[in-house]
Amino acid sequence: MIQFVLFGITGDLSRRLILPAMVRLFAQGKLPELTILGFGTRDWSDEQLRQHVAELLRTLPGVPLKAWERFQERIHYQAAELSAEGLQGLKQLSGDAVFYLALPPDLFAQAAQALGTLGVADERSGFRRLAVEKPFGTDLASAQALNQALHAFWREDQIFRMDHFLGKAATQNLLHVRLANRFLEPIWNGYHVDFVQITYAETLGLEGRARYYDRSGALRDMLQNHLLQLFALVAMEPPARLDAQSLRIHKLEALRAVRPIPPGNVDQFAARGQYVGYRNEPGIPADSRTETFAAMKLYVDSWRWQGIPFYLRSGKRLAADAAEIALVFRPAPAAPLGTLPPGRLVFRMKPGALELWLSTRHGDEAQQLRLQAALGQEPEYGAYEELLLALLDGDLSFFPSEGEVEEAWRIVDPILRAWQQGEPEPYEQGSEGPKSQHALLDPGDSWDPIGK
Ligand code: BG6
C-alpha cells in the first residue's frame, strides 16, 4: 500500500489534473494500491473535500464517475500548516510513500524542508519520493537554490520534477519514432536537416492565472521547460539504453551543447511580443511588459548539429492551437523536375499526427506528397496519467534532472536579463504573433504559418 501525500489538494492543479488522472487510472485497474492523504489550509472534513473535488470532476470530460464513487473513500483530508510542527503526524508514517507538492512555487523549498526535518525522506521502511510541480525556479540562481534546498534532505533519485510535456503521447511518440526506425538515424543530423522548428501556439489566454502569468511570461512558462525538453529529445544523441540514466545524460549533453546567447546581441536570437489587450485583462497591470509570445534561435555545438539553427516559439491568443516539431530537410542539389519545397518530417502535437513530406512525380510535374498518420488526441490529463504511473513505479525517465533544469535556465538567462529593458512588440489577438520573430531566421528559413 502506497501513501500518496498530496499537498495542495484543494487547489486547481489537483482538482483539474492530478485527481482526474488518478480516477481514470483507477477505473482502468492501472493504479497500484494507494491511499491519498491531502493537505490544505481550509478547515474541511473528508466529506467536504470529496464534495469539492466531485463537483469539478462532474464537469470534466472522460472522468469515470462510477469509479470516483469507490475511489473517493481512499481520500482523506487534513488542514495543516506547512511546517515540521504542522505536519508532525507524518512522523508515524511507515512503508512506501510519495509526497507530491502541488503548491505555489514559493512553498516548494519550505515543504521539502519541513518533510525532511521530520525524517520522512528516510527509506528504511519503504521508498520515499518527492514530486515537485512547475515552475522550477524563475532563473538560474533561483533554480540552483531550490535544487540545493531539496538536496538538503532528498537524494536526486528521490526527486521527480514534473514537466507534463514529457508525459504527452506526442512527446513519447517523438522518441519512439526516432529510436524505433533505424533508417531515420542516418538523416537525423545537420548533413540532411536544414533547420528544426518547434512551435507551441495557443488560442487560449490567461485562464484566470493573471497573477502567476504576469510574473512569468512565455519564455519562463513554456520555452525554458517544455520546449527545451522537446528540443533536447530531438537534439540528443540516441541513447544505447532506454532507461532514465541514459536518457537524462543524453538530454543534458544536448542542452550543454547549446551555444550561449551573447548578452550584447540578444535581439538576434530572441523575439518577444504581447497581445493587444493583455494590459486590460483582469489582474494585469496597465503598464505590464510581460511577454505573451517568445521565440528563440539556438545553435548547438555538437558534431550532429553544428551550424544548424533550432527555432523555438510559443505564444498565447494566436491564430490557432497548433503545435509541431518539424525537421526541415535540405533541398536536393539537382531535382529532375524543378525544385519543390524541401522535404520534412513533422510531429504534430494537437491533435497528434506524424507527417512525412516527399517530392514525387505526377505526369510531367513535380508534386509534393504529404503522408500523414493521425496519432490521436489525449484528454488534458493524459500526460498526468503517464507521469503518475512512472512516479509510482519509480521511473525517472520522463522527469527532468537537476542538471537539465539548470542548463535550460543557463540558456534562457541572458534573454531574461536583456528583456528587463525595453518592451515586447504588440501583436493582434488571433494573429501569427509579432513580426520580430521573422528577424531571427537565417536567410532562406521560414516559420510555418500557424494553423494552416
Ligand atoms: C503549462 C503552462 O505548463 O502548459 C500554460 O503554464 C500552458 O500556460 C500549458 O497553457 C500548455 O500545455 P497543454 O498541455 O495544456 O497544452
The last residue of one of the domains, among 145, 162, 179, is 162
Task: Give residue 119 CA to ligand 1 midpoint distance, Å.
Answer: 34
Judged by DSSP in three states, 352 sits in strand
115: containing domain:
2-162
Which residue minimizes the CA distance to atom 15 of ligand 1? 380
180 shares a domain with 146? no
| Phi/psi of residue 244, nearest 5 degrees | -60, -45
Domain at 92, CATH number: 3.40.50.720
Q: Spell out, as residue ranges, where the chain has pLDDT lower than 50.
A: none
Strands (E), 180-301: 193-201, 270-275, 293-299
In this prediction, residue 366 carries a pLDDT of 87
- Work out which ligand 1 atom sits closest to the CA atom of 212: 6
190 shares a domain with 127? no
Say whether 438 is catalytic: no
* 311 membership: H or E segment, kind and range: strand 309-315
124 shares a domain with 35? yes
In this prediction, residue 364 carries a pLDDT of 86
352 shares a domain with 235? yes
Which residue minimizes the CA distance to atom 13 of ligand 1? 380
In this prediction, residue 452 carries a pLDDT of 60
- Work out which ligand 1 atom sits closest to the CA atom of 202: 10
**Helices marked H in 319-401:** 382-393
98 shares a domain with 15? yes
214 shares a domain with 124? no
Task: Give residue 90 CA to ligand 1 midpoint distance, Å.
Answer: 33
Which residues form ligand 1's pocket by a CB distance below 6 Å?
164, 202, 204, 221
Task: Give residue 77 CA to ligand 1 midpoint distance, Å.
Answer: 28
Q: Which of 226, 250, 362, 438 is catalytic?
A: 226
184 shares a domain with 139? no
Q: Which three cell numbers stand for residue 359?
A: 517530392
Which residue minimizes the CA distance to atom 5 of ligand 1? 221
- Work out which ligand 1 atom sits closest to the CA atom of 226: 3
Q: How many Å apart are CA 57 and CA 53, to the nearest integer?
A: 6
Asked if 422 and 266 count as a contact pair (C-beta separation under 8 A), the reply is no
Task: Give residue 61 CA to ligand 1 midpoint distance, Å.
Answer: 18
In this prediction, residue 431 carries a pLDDT of 97
**Total domains present in the chain:** 2
Judged by DSSP in three states, 371 sits in strand
55 shares a domain with 97? yes
Q: pTM for the whole thing?
A: 0.96
Task: Give residue 71 CA to ligand 1 midpoint distance, Å.
Answer: 27
Which residue minimizes the CA distance to atom 6 of ligand 1? 221
